[in-house]
A = this chain, B = another copy of it.
Amino acid sequence: MSPRRPATEPSEKSRTRREQILDAAFHTFSQHGFRETAMDEIAAAANTSKGGIYFHFPTKEAVFREVMRSTADRLAAKVERAVASETDPIARAEAALRTVLLTFSGHRATARLLFVDAVGAGRVFLAETAALHARFAGMIRTYLEEAVDSGAIPPLDAELTSQAWFGALNEVVARWLLAEEPDRLDDNYPALRAILLRSVGVPEERIAAGDPAWHGARSDDRAPR
């Protein structure tokens, strides 16, 4: 018997199985894309049955949305945590950039899912994808505006600039994902940082000094998710 809980509250067992499915879906989606992933594959990877998935999710779309959401949440939380430990506005922007690059560097699957599959999942997810991009660009935008407000950099079109930053980052990641024999993604951080900081008018001395947080903070390239 399950403990005294409302019937609508998912039981421990159920929470676990749900997560199993999401994990499996995350991996298959990021490997084969949305359309190319069959419910059968997810079921097999989750050690359950197709019917089992349909108990927890109403449609395949719902599974995908949930995977995207939770993945984006995790990444956003990670970035926000990293940013929170910095106070200098420019350092905060650096931290955001650095974190994303480091995270993707160690988690190709996450990068693939968020920035390749999201786009390729079909017109049904257009709004979702736009929101996803807007979310990360929005984070960047916040840091840029802080920097402007603090006088660290001159005023700028924050909306467009954050899009450009995100796009630049996105492309570097995507090219790394598509490469046959990719180098370490994070090798690109110093140069990318320089370009982006320069693009918003950070003084050359500051750029030349490098990112003080960028000592051995290299990715370890092995975390499972």
B123 & A36 in contact (Cβ 8 Å cutoff): yes
User: Bound complex: CA of A35 vs CA of B117, how far in Å?
Assistant: 13
Counting from the closest, the 5 A-B pairs by CB-CB distance are A167-B171, A120-B120, A199-B199, A164-B168, A130-B178
A194: shortest Cβ distance to chain B, in Å?
A: 8
Within 8 Å by CB of A171, from B1, B117, B163, B196, lies B163
User: Bound complex: CA of A192 vs CA of B175, how far in Å?
Assistant: 22
Interface residue? A91 (CB, 8 A): no
A44 & B1 in contact (Cβ 8 Å cutoff): yes
Interface residue? A217 (CB, 8 A): no
Cβ–Cβ < 8 Å partners of A171 in chain B: 133, 137, 163-164, 166-168, 170-171
- Interface-centre pick from A32, A40, A122, A195 (highest chain B CB count, 10 A): A195
Interface residue? A160 (CB, 8 A): yes
B191 & A160 in contact (Cβ 8 Å cutoff): yes
Q: A33-B120, A160-B195 are in contact. List 11 more A-B contacts (CB 8 A).
A: A1-B49, A35-B122, A116-B119, A119-B119, A127-B178, A130-B175, A133-B175, A160-B192, A164-B192, A168-B171, A199-B199
Interface residue? A75 (CB, 8 A): no
